[in-house]
Amino acid sequence: MFATRYLEKNKNSACIKKSPHTNTGIIIVIPCLCEPDVIYTLESVYSCDTPSCHVEIILLINHSRTASAEVKNINQRSKYNILRWILKNKKDKVDFFVAGPVELTPKWAGAGLARKKGMDEAVRRFNILERPEGIIISLDADTVVEKNYLQAIEDHFVENTAEVGATIAVKHQTRGLSDKHLEGIRLYEKYMYYYKNALRFTGYPFPMFTVGSAFAVRAGAYVMRGGMNRRKAGEDFYFLQNLVHIGNVGEIKNTTVHPSARLSERVPFGTGPIMKKWMNDEKDLNKTYNFRAFENLRELFAGKDQLFKISDGKYKIFLEGLPEPIARFLKEDDFREKINDLNSNCSKLPTFHFRFFQKFNTFKILKFLNFAHKYYYEEADLNEQINLLNRKKFISL
C-alpha cells in the first residue's frame, strides 16, 4: 500500500472506525476549533452536485491539551450539533464524519497540526483502498462553496491526470460587512491577484496565492511531499510551495471557494490579522509591493541560464549587469554558494533550470521583496501597480 510507511512513521491511528466506501475518490478535510457556524459550511457542501465518485467529509474538531474549559466546552457543543445535523442530513454517495475533539500537543497546537491530523486520516482511508490518485481537499469551517464545487474539482483532476494538486479560485464572503470592512477585503483580493500575476510576470514558473481553504492534493503526492507541516500559520503556503517541486500544481477557475472575511488574531498572518489591522488603521491596503521590484526579479530570471557552470569572473560580470537591488541582495544572501551547489549537482542545463527555482523559491522572493523595500523602494499605490503590470501587456487582472 502506497502510504503504509508514511502512516507508521507518523504514528497515525484511525479517527474513523467505519471503512471507506469502495468508490471513494474525494475526501474533504475541515479542521474545526471554536467554530459555531460550521453547520453553514456543511450545508454548503451538502448542497453541491455530487460527482461520479463517492465523497467523504471529515470534520476534525481539535484544541490544545492546555486549552481553556470554555474552548473545550464550545468544541463539545460543536460536536453534538454536528452529529445531530449528520443524522438529519443523509445523501447518496456522500458521508459526513466528525472526529474528536482531538487534543493537540501544546507546543504544536494550531492550524498546521490540525490540518495535518485530518489530511493524514484521509490518506489512511485512501491507503485502505490502495488509491494514491484519490483527491484530498482542504476546506475551513468558516467557508462556503458553490454548487458545482465537487464536480469541478473531480473534472479538473480527471482532465489533468499528471497534476499532483490544484488551487481553487477564492472570493471572500461580504454579507453583513461594514463599508470599511468591505473596502478592506476587496483591496486584499486585489492584492492577492496582483501578487500572483506579478510573480508570473517575473518568469517564476509556479505563481500562486495560497489559501488554506482552497486547495486539493492527490493522496500519493501528499505522502511523497511528506504530509502537511505543523506550522501554526502559513502551513498551506509552505505545503504548496514545496509540492510544486514534485509535480505540477494546477488552478481550478470554474468554481469558487468563499472564506469568511472575519477579523481574527488566531494566526499571526493571513486574512484575519490583515483585516484586523486594516480596521484598526494599522495597515493601508491601498499600498503594496512596488512593481519595480518584480521587474528586478524578471531580469534575474531571464538570465538565469547564464549561471550554469559559470566561472567566478563571469559571475561578477553577471551581477554587474543586474539592477542594483537584486545584485546587492544576491551578494548579501551569498547566492554564489547556492549556484556552486547547483552546478555541482546538475550536469545538464534543463536540470539546472528546474532546480534553480528550488534555490530561488517563493520564500527567497519574499525575502528579496522585503529587502528591496527596506533599502530601495517604497510601497506604492495598489491600483497604479496593477496598471503598470497591465501596461506590460502581460496579463489583465
- Which tens digit of pLDDT belongs to each residue from 232-270? 677 888 899 899 989 999 999 999 999 998 887 666 667
Q: What are phi and psi of 396, to 5 degrees?
A: -105, 125
Sign, Cα dihedral of 221, 223, 225, 229: positive
Q: Which of 178, 179, 177, 140 is nearest to 259 (CA)?
A: 140
Name the pLDDT band for 211 (thresholds 50, 70, 90): confident
Is the pLDDT confidence value at 88 over 60?
A: yes
Is the pLDDT confidence value at 212 over 50?
A: yes
**Residue partners of 173: CB distance under 8 A and separation at least 6:** 144, 258, 259, 260, 261
Mean pLDDT of the chain: 93
Q: What are phi and psi of 203, to 5 degrees?
A: 100, 0
Is the pLDDT confidence value at 395 over 70?
A: no
Q: What are phi and psi of 4, to 5 degrees?
A: -60, -45
Write down the pTM of the prediction: 0.93
Is the pLDDT confidence value at 324 over 50?
A: yes
Is the pLDDT confidence value at 329 over 60?
A: yes
CATH number of the structural domain 4-260: 3.90.550.10
- Tally of CB atoms within 10 A around 16: 16
Interatomic CA distance for residues 135 and 220, integer angstroms: 9
Tell me where in the chain the CATH 3.90.550.10 domain(s) lie.
4-260
